[in-house]
Amino acid sequence: MCVVVRVAGAAEQDVAWDAREVAVVVRAGMPTEEALAGVRAVLSDLGSVARGPGLWCFCGEPVSWPVPLGRSGLCAVAAPATP
Ligand SMILES: [Zn+2]
């Protein structure tokens, strides 16, 4: 079962790992960059290895990003670094 990123309006923490739901729960209204950094940290703790820009499950599949968290920020962060 792959990790999902979920937005919760009443989350206690900004970013939290929910093992039961295999989900990274992000509080609604978080700035995109902060949410992304938090989710990345959780995925890294889970053993995720980045295979390119974006977010990756520990199994190697891409993790989708919920639209309410902002799309442009992810694209900016996920853009490959220019040499
Ligand atoms: Zn997976």
* Ion ligand 1 neighbours, Cβ < 5 Å: 2, 57, 59, 61
The pLDDT score that the predictor gives to residue 76 is: 45
C-alpha of residue 18 to centroid of ligand 1, in Å: 15
C-alpha of residue 29 to centroid of ligand 1, in Å: 26
Global pTM? 0.81
C-alpha of residue 66 to centroid of ligand 1, in Å: 16
The Cα diameter of the chain in Å comes to 41
Domain parsing of the chain, residue ranges: 4-70
Question: Using an 8 Å Cβ cutoff, are 60 and 49 in contact?
Answer: yes
CA distance 82 to 71: 21
C-alpha distances out from residue 64 to 12, 55, 82, 83, Å: 22, 7, 24, 26
The pLDDT score that the predictor gives to residue 81 is: 45
Question: Using an 8 Å Cβ cutoff, are 33 and 26 in contact?
Answer: no
List phi, psi (to 5°) of 44: -65, -45
In tens digits, the chain (83 residues) has pLDDT values of 899 999 999 888 999 999 999 999 999 988 888 999 999 999 999 999 888 778 999 999 989 888 888 765 455 444 444 45
C-alpha of residue 62 to centroid of ligand 1, in Å: 8
